[in-house]
Amino acid sequence: MKSEPRTAFVIDALPALGGGEKVLFTALEQYPCADVFTLIYNKAAFLNTPLTHRDIRTSYLDALPLVHKHHRRFLPLMTSAIGSFDLQDYDRIVSFSYAVAHGVHRYNGARHISYTYTPMRYAWTDLNINGTHTRKNPLIDQFMRLFRKWDKKAAARVHQFASISKAVSKRIQRAYQREAPVIYPPVEVERFSANPQRGDYYITVSRLVPHKRIDILIQAFSKLNLPLIVIGDGPELPKLQKIATAKVQLLGYQPDEAVVDLLSKARGFVCAAEEDFGIAIVEAQAAFKSRAAVVATNFVDHEKPSVRTAARVLLRKSRP
């Protein structure tokens, strides 16, 4: 009797729950016997999720101090860490990659498909780790040159790429000279509906990391004296708490039921990031589909993010 092919899922890191992790959950519904490999796993962040009772295989990075809160700072070690996974017992490999996950290479004859959220932003765009678009320093420039060389070799070993959006497919073509058909991420739009009793607040749902530019939103809403609810967790939370005014509520992680309720009653959804796809934006559109709403996204000047620009656009879009 022929045995079931063994499947390995490889994802860069599991520091907190976000859109990329929800994609992994959906894949595990289809392939429940797949084993999950990741560089770091913050187990506390995934209580009561499909990962709770799974044996997640991690790299040596997972034992390092502060890695769960600041894993991006360990980028120089990630290329070697991803290469340490031994996948020779697997028949098929799917990497969910935004940095190095597609770089696994210790496997024998397995077909490797990379579902790519983006080629790593910090190497292939002018985006810095702190979320700005200013010039990188010479040491970082040199590291990124070396990373791009490694990245192209890693991409050459992948049998097939797929991407989450047309924009990402274009990035994959520019970076790796590879075709990547689009497979849009799953979004449970049926969970959302508009509430006729609308609140007076705006809302954003996001991982709290620098490139999401939640700081721009907080400063803009403070300038406009408008109420903003921020849902999400991440390493930027302490910094954002320091700049938040009384009009801004930072709620941290919230269960799905609370997110659905708050979205359905919000006046509008706002986003300052240049999103690759934006699961939260699609969820907001589903929540607002039967009434007028504001969805302000991608309004930040990429050369020099401006609170004044964000405030002006928000004010214009919020007018009846």
229 assigned to some structural domain: yes
What confidence score (pLDDT) does residue 97 get? 97
Separation CA 8–CA 53 (nearest Å): 17
Separation CA 131–CA 223 (nearest Å): 21
pLDDT at 105 over 70: yes
Same domain, 12 and 81: yes
Condensed to tens digits (0 to 9), the pLDDT of residues 164-209 reads: 999 999 999 999 999 999 999 988 888 888 777 888 899 999 989 8
Range 139-168 average pLDDT: 94
pLDDT at 108 over 70: yes
What confidence score (pLDDT) does residue 317 get? 46
CATH number of the domain that residue 290 is part of: 3.40.50.2000
Q: By residue range, what is the domain housing residue 229?
A: 189-313
Residue 130 has a CB neighbour count (10 Å cut-off) of 10
Same domain, 151 and 43: yes
First to last CA, the chain: 67
Residue located via tokens 């022929």: 2
What confidence score (pLDDT) does residue 2 get? 56
Name the domain count of the chain.
Answer: 2
Same domain, 195 and 48: no
Range 266-295 average pLDDT: 77
| Amino acid in the structure at residue 38 | T
Residue located via tokens 């995934």: 46
26 assigned to some structural domain: yes
Same domain, 161 and 42: yes
Q: Pick from 20, 75, 76, 71: which is nearest to 41 by CA?
A: 71
pLDDT at 125 over 50: yes
* % of the chain at pLDDT higher than 90: 55
Same domain, 21 and 144: yes
The model's confidence at residue 297, banded by pLDDT at 50, 70 and 90, is: low
Cβ neighbours for 147, distance < 8 A, ≥ 6 positions apart: 75, 79, 120, 123
Separation CA 67–CA 55 (nearest Å): 19
CB of 91 closer than 8 Å to CB of 112: no
Residue with the larger pLDDT of the pair 268 and 317? 268
Range 267-285 average pLDDT: 85
The model's confidence at residue 217, banded by pLDDT at 50, 70 and 90, is: very high
Please tell me whether residue 161 adopts helix, strand or coil conformation.
strand
Separation CA 96–CA 128 (nearest Å): 22
User: Mean pLDDT, the chain, as a whole number?
Assistant: 86
pLDDT at 293 over 80: no
What confidence score (pLDDT) does residue 318 get? 43
Condensed to tens digits (0 to 9), the pLDDT of residues 50-88 reads: 999 999 999 999 999 999 888 888 999 999 999 999 999
What confidence score (pLDDT) does residue 19 get? 85
Vertex 285 angle, CA 284 and 286, to 5°: 90
What confidence score (pLDDT) does residue 313 get? 47
